[in-house]
Amino acid sequence: MSSTTPTKTPPRASSIKVGLGQLVVSKSPGDVLSALGLGSCIGLTVFDPVTKIGGMVHVMLPSSEISTHSGPDGKYADTAIPALVDQVSRLGGDPSRLVCKMAGGAQMFSGGSGGGSLNIGSRNAIAVRAALQVAGLRLKSAQTGGTFGRTVDIHIATGLVTVRTVGGAVEEL
Amino acid sequence: MTGSNANDEAAATVPALDVTNLNTMQLDALREIGNIGAGTAASSLSLMTGEPIGMAVPRVSIMPVEEVGNYVGGEEQIVVAVYLQVIGDAPGHIVFVIPAETAHELCHQLMGGMQAGDPDPATGFSEMELSALQEIGNVMTGSYLRAMADLTRMHLEPTPPALGIDMIGALLGSVLAEVSQSTSMALLIETAFEEADMPSFGHFLFVPEPVSLEVVLRSLGLIA
C-alpha cells in the first residue's frame, strides 16, 4: 500500500470500512459503508431517504462517563449519536427524516471470565436506544444480542442495510 | 489522583506511567517478557501435540485502543480466541488467537486420531474439539503467565479463560471494548507462533493495564 492514497472519493462503487469507534457519513451513491465483524460493538446506520445522505457509527462502549479516557466521538453511545446526527445535517440531511437501524451487541465469549464482565454488548444496545431517544430519533429495526458476530453494510444509493453472520445468509435489516 | 499532565516531580501520588513515552530499554524489557512468556507457552503446546512449535520475535506496539482492530486486520477471518484477564500485582488482558483451520489441525494432533465427533453447526467444532481448545487455551495462557510471574517475581493469576469462535473483528472488538474501559492507549506485546506445516498459526496478545506497566518495569529495576 502506498502512503500517498488519494483522498478523493472515486466515482465508482467503493467500500468504506468503519472501524472501532469510527463515524462515517456519505452522500456518494457509490459508497457502501461497512462495519466488519461487530461483536459487542454496535453498528448504527442512519439514512435520509429524500436527500440520500447516510452514515454509520461503530460504537464500542455505552457511555463516555464511565471512563475518564478520551477517544473519538463514535466510541461511546452517548457521544456517537449526537455526532452522527450533526455530521449528517452538515452534509444536508434532515435529522427528522433519518431512518435508524442497528446491529451488534452480542456476547462473544462463553465460559470463564467471559460471562460476567463481557456483557458490554447488551449494555451497548440499551445505551444506543437511549441515546436515539434523547436525540428524538426512532429506531426502525434492530438485530442485537446473541453470541455471534455480524458484519453490517449500508448502501448509500438506496439506504439498504444488510447484516451477515458466519455461515449465515445476508439478511436485510 | 492527580491529572494526567506531568507536573510536580515530588507529587505524592504518582500518575500512571505514560505508555507513549517509554524508553528503548523499557520496550526491550517488555519484548523480553513476551519472548519468555510465549516461549514457555510454545513448549507447553509442543509437549501436548508432539510437534515442534516455533515463534517469531515479539513485537511491542503502542496505539489508541480503537486502532488495534485495524492494526490486526482481517476482520472477517474466522478464528478461535481464548481470552482471560490477569489479576494480581499487574492486572491486564491476554488474548490468544488461532485461525479456525489451524485450530482443527491442533485438535487433530492433540487427540491423536480419535474421532472428533459431529461438529456443531454454529461453530464448526465438535464438543470434544471445543474441550481440547479450552485445554490448549488454559495451558498456553497459564504457562505464559507463570513465566512472566517468575521473571518479575510478582503474584499474577489468570481468570478462567473464555472461548470464542467467530470473526476476529467481533472477538477482538469485544476484548478491546473491555480494555478501553481502563485505558485509551493500548500497549500490545504480540508474539506469532509457527509450526512447519501450518503457514498461519496463532497470535498471543498481552495488554497490561496502565498501572501494571509501572509495576512490571519497577520489578525489573527499569524505573528509578
Query: Which pLDDT score is estimated for B4?
Result: 42
DSSP letters, B103-141, are HHHHHHHHHTT----PBPTTTS-BHHHHHHHHHHHHHHH
- Test mutation, B20, B66, B157, B182, chain A, max A CBs within 10 A: B66
pLDDT in tens, B96-117: 898 998 898 888 888 877 777 8
**For chain A, what is the mean pLDDT?**
89
- Alpha-carbon distances of A85 from A104, A130, B47, rounded to whole Å: 20, 15, 56
Residue range A13-35: mean pLDDT, rounded = 95
Q: Considering only A3-12, A42-51, B140-149, which range has the smallest mean pLDDT?
A: A3-12
Domain contains A95: yes
With a cut of 60, say whether residue A137 has pLDDT above it. yes
With a cut of 70, say whether residue B6 has pLDDT above it. no
Confidence band (pLDDT; 50, 70, 90) for A121? very high
Domain contains A172: no
Query: Which pLDDT score is estimated for B112?
Result: 78
Query: Which pLDDT score is estimated for A45?
Result: 98
Q: Would you call B24 an interface residue with chain A, using a CB distance cutoff of 8 Å? A: no
CB atoms within 10 A of CB A71: 20
Integer-rounded Cα Rg, in Å, for chain A is: 16
Quick one: cell of B115?
474421532
Distance (Å) from the alpha carbon of B163 to chain A's nearest alpha carbon: 5
Q: Would you call B87 an interface residue with chain A, using a CB distance cutoff of 8 Å? A: no
Q: Which residue has the cell 503457514?
A: B199
Which of B121, B168, B180 has the CB atom closest to A71's CB atom?
Answer: B180
Distance (Å) from the alpha carbon of B198 to chain A's nearest alpha carbon: 23
Domain ranges of chain B: 20-219
Distance (Å) from the alpha carbon of B55 to chain A's nearest alpha carbon: 26
With a cut of 80, say whether residue B82 has pLDDT above it. yes
Residue range A57-66: mean pLDDT, rounded = 90
With a cut of 80, say whether residue B2 has pLDDT above it. no
DSSP letters, A38-96, are ESSSEEEEEEETTTTEEEEEEE-BS-TTS-S----GGGBHHHHHHHHHHHHHHHT--GG
A39 and B78 within 8 Å at the Cβ level: the answer is no
- Does the ipTM surpass 0.90? no
Q: Would you call A80 an interface residue with chain B, using a CB distance cutoff of 8 Å? A: no
| Closest C-alpha among B165, B175, B182 to residue B123 | B165
For residue A105, what is the domain's CATH number?
Answer: 3.30.1330.200
With a cut of 90, say whether residue B18 has pLDDT above it. no
- Whole-number percent of chain B with pLDDT over 90: 18
Q: How many domains would you assign to chain A?
A: 1
Q: Would you call A90 an interface residue with chain B, using a CB distance cutoff of 8 Å? A: no
Q: Would you call B183 an interface residue with chain A, using a CB distance cutoff of 8 Å? A: yes
Give chain B positions within 8 Å (CB) of A23.
Answer: none
CB atoms within 10 A of CB B104: 19
Between these two residues, A45 and B152, which has the higher pLDDT value? A45
B20-219: what fold?
Chemotaxis protein chec (3.40.1550)
**For chain B, what is the mean pLDDT?**
83
Domain, as residue range, for A143? 14-163
Confidence band (pLDDT; 50, 70, 90) for A7? low
- Whole-number percent of chain A with pLDDT over 70: 86
Confidence band (pLDDT; 50, 70, 90) for A132? very high
**Nearest-angstrom CA–CA distance, A113 and A100:** 33
| Closest C-alpha among B25, B27, B19, B18 to residue B62 | B19
**Nearest-angstrom CA–CA distance, A14 and B37:** 43
Query: Which pLDDT score is estimated for A2?
Result: 42
Q: Which residue has the cell 445535517?
A: A89
Give chain A positions within 8 Å (CB) of B161.
Answer: 111-113
Q: Which helix (H) or strand (E) holds B188?
A: strand B185-195
Quick one: cell of A13?
462503487
Does the active-site annotation cover A41? yes
- Whole-number percent of chain B with pLDDT over 70: 89
B76 and A37 within 8 Å at the Cβ level: the answer is yes
